Amino acid sequence: MATSSVHAALRAAEAASPTFDGPAVLGLDAPPAGFTLERYDTAVGRGRQDFVRACEGLRTWATHRTLGVRVHPTSTPVRLGGVYVVTLGTPVGAIAAPCRVTRVTDEPAHWGFSYRTLPGHPEVGEEAFDVRLASSDQVRLGIVAVSRHADGVMRLAGPIARLVQRRVTTGYGRSLRGFVREPPV
């Protein structure tokens, strides 16, 4: 996606309100009517040092450095109220997915955030990303998403769009696990 297109999407998203006004996804047992609920959980490390590193990776969008996914602005860490455009595709052609961070949790054994979709996102919903240090010393990444397709084109893509979404989510886990294993710079 061209830089000028990303900047235009960011400018448009800054003043926009989230397209999802349902309950926060954390703690949902069932999705709101018309939405799907997806959960993903994977181990990304072990011990306090890996937890700190995983939190750093989540905070700096390392999770989203998976095949074909980019976050703009590129060097801006997660912040409450921050507006970002996540792109999926190639630099030549990509789907832009604007979102706003609506929750940040910063606790001794838990760091995470949620974002809600903004106009122009191919989905309507919320996604939560949380790293936890379990009592077993295992570091886990949990992702919870509630969504529905935003328009007819995405509804036509239906099962293919859901498959892509699952693969991207799995990629988030792989990316964070790799980040945790890399030596800090």
Q: What is the pLDDT of residues 27-59, one digit of tens each?
A: 899 999 999 999 999 999 999 999 999 999 999
What pLDDT shows up at residue 169? 82
Sequence length of the chain is 185
Please check the confidence at residue 146 and state whether its pLDDT lies above 60: yes
Mean pLDDT of 17-23: 94
What pLDDT shows up at residue 152? 59
Give Cα separations from 150 to 72, 119, 165 (angstroms): 21, 9, 14
Query: What are residue 99's phi and psi, to 5 degrees?
Result: -150, 160
Q: Of 116, 120, 128, which is closest to residue 154 (Cα–Cα)?
A: 120
Q: Write down all domains in the chain, each with its CATH number in brackets.
A: 3-181 (3.30.530.20)
**Alpha helices in the chain, H assignment, sequence order:** 3-14, 47-59, 152-181
pLDDT band at 129 (very low <50, low <70, confident <90, very high): very high
Q: Which amino acid is at 21?
A: D
- pTM, rounded to two decimals: 0.90
Listing DSSP states for 116-142 in one string gives EE-TT-SEEEEEEEEEEE-TTSEEEEE
Mean pLDDT of 129-135: 97
Q: Of 7, 3, 4, which is closest to residue 98 (Cα–Cα)?
A: 7
Q: Quick one: tokens of 183?
A: 């030596």
Please check the confidence at residue 181 and state whether its pLDDT lies above 70: yes
What pLDDT shows up at residue 27? 85
For residues 113 and 129, the answer to whether their CB atoms sit within 8 Å is yes
Provide the 3-class DSSP secondary structure of residue 23. Answer: coil
Higher pLDDT, 129 or 183: 129
